Amino acid sequence: MINFDDLGPEKILEVYDQKTKMHGFLVIDNTKRGPGKGGIRMTPSVTVDEVARLARTMTFKCAMADLPFGGAKSGIVADVKNLTQKQKFDIISAFSEALKPLCPKMYVAAPDMNTAEEEMRVFAEANGSWRSCTGKPANMCVKPGKKCGIPHEYGSTGFGVYHALKIAVQHLGWDIKKIKIAIEGFGNVGSFVAKYLAEDGIKIVATSDSKGVCYLENGFDFKKLEEIKKKLGTVIKYPGCKILPTQDIINLDVDVLVTAAIPDLINEKNKDKVKAKLIIEGSNIPMTIEVEKYLHKKGILVVPDFVANAGGVISSYAEYKGYNPKSMLRLVERKIKNNTDLVLKEAKKKNIIPREAAMNLALRRIK
């Protein structure tokens, strides 16, 4: 059930196209800071309630990142595994056509689950506005070499999560070279978190995908892991690793758990199985605020999603303003490090969970 309050949602739109069978939702949560920003999620199970929760997260995320964007999110009910590329693009095009009255004045789209740079190309072309979405291909420019798309291949979200993790480790007083890290999911976010950690010489002992968990006590060779995932389609094919059920990623005896895949990963049923002392929420809504409070009482530090994974929306802003990729990454690093530090200091000072500290800061910025 959608909750309405002083922040929003301002608009909820449900659209359907008979020809393509496109059925989608758009929730514009709040536009006080600017047009609502949020990605397009394509899954067979997406609901307007899920989209509304994510839109609220985007409201706080954009305010927390101190960007001139509000919060929004959209979803298309579709099983992409049973669609041809043409069918998928036709659905995206129909969705964009339906949202024309609101894009980009009130809503700026972006990639999310099962949408990427080529879907954003289709969206922008159907919408007739370069600014209607971000995450477009690098060769999609207003002018040659000017104001070009910044696709996910730069890994802005994972890059931000990596920096949030490092700041949190500093706050805990740990030696980052001696900790063990598990990453839930090896997709668009998790793989880049792993990449940047590996380049820094930091040990990753476990990761997962829909096929299972791959645990290796001595840590992975990232390039080898990446190659196996690309060639064989799953991380559990990594030689010598212990294979566990996918959901067991939260049970592992590690120092840090990075969530980077599904919503509600940690819930009322499994919250007592968490052994990590630090959780970085690289995915959106990986647990409820009630679960975060419970873990906080157990001495587990949780860096909330709209602080840790804001790299993607910061990258979107950089693209929206016409920055180049190098400038974008510098902006992501500066904002994520600064905001994570602010939130953790505030939480410690007031003895509240980091999410409450972050929400207080974001609300001040919204108002």
- Residue 362 identity: A
Q: Which residue has the tokens 């809504």?
A: 285
Q: What is the pLDDT of residue 284?
A: 86
Q: What is the pLDDT of residue 40?
A: 97
Q: What is the pLDDT of residue 147?
A: 84
Q: What is the pLDDT of residue 142?
A: 83
DSSP assignment of 317-363 equals HHHHHT--HHHHHHHHHHHHHHHHHHHHHHHHHHT--HHHHHHHHHH
Q: Give me the residues paired with residue 209 across strands.
A: 212
Distance CA 57, CA 61 (A): 6
Contact in structure between 194 and 186 (CB atoms under 8 Å): yes
pLDDT tens track for 164-204: 999 999 999 999 999 999 999 999 899 999 999 999 999 99
Q: State the sign of the Cα–Cα–Cα–Cα dihedral 342, 315, 365, 52.
A: negative
Tokens linked to 88: 């998928």
Q: What is the pLDDT of residue 146?
A: 77
Q: Where are the alpha helices (DSSP H) in 189-221?
A: 190-199
Cis peptide before 9 (omega within 30 of 0): yes
Neighbouring residues of 326: CB distance < 8 A, sequence distance ≥ 6: none
Q: Cα separations (Å) of 60 from 2, 8, 96, 294, 330?
A: 17, 12, 25, 22, 22
Domain boundaries, the chain: 11-62+69-149, 156-312+322-329+335-366
Distance of CA 317 to the CA centre of its chain: 15
DSSP assignment of 214-252 equals EE-TT---HHHHHHHHHHHS-GGGSTTPEEE-GGGGGGS
DSSP assignment of 263-303 equals TT-S-TTTGGG---SEEEE-SSSSS-HHHHHHHHHTT-EEE
Contact in structure between 266 and 274 (CB atoms under 8 Å): yes
Contact in structure between 98 and 25 (CB atoms under 8 Å): no
Low-confidence residues in the chain, pLDDT < 70:
none
Is the CATH number of domain 156-312+322-329+335-366 3.40.50.720?
Answer: yes
Q: Comparing 11-62+69-149 with 156-312+322-329+335-366, is the CATH topology the same?
A: yes
10 Å CB burial of residue 92 (0-12, 13-18, 19+) is buried
How many H-runs (helices) and E-runs (strands) does the chain carry?
A: 11, 15
Cis peptide before 44 (omega within 30 of 0): no
CATH topology assigned to domain 11-62+69-149 = Rossmann fold (3.40.50)
Q: What is the pLDDT of residue 183?
A: 98
pLDDT tens track for 76-106: 999 999 999 999 999 999 999 999 999 999 9
176 backbone dihedrals φ, ψ, rounded to 5°: -65, -25
Distance CA 108, CA 26 (A): 11
Element (H, E) at 99: helix 85-99
Contact in structure between 256 and 182 (CB atoms under 8 Å): yes
Q: What is the pLDDT of residue 144?
A: 74
Q: What is the pLDDT of residue 219?
A: 96
Distance CA 327, CA 334 (A): 11
Tokens linked to 50: 């899920």
35: closest CA among 178, 172, 138, 131? 131
Q: Cα separations (Å) of 192 from 136, 161, 187?
A: 19, 9, 8
Provide the annotated active-site residues: 73
Q: What is the pLDDT of residue 151?
A: 81
Q: What is the pLDDT of residue 248?
A: 96
- Residue 231 identity: K
Q: Is 48 helix (H, G, I), strand (E, B) or coil?
A: helix
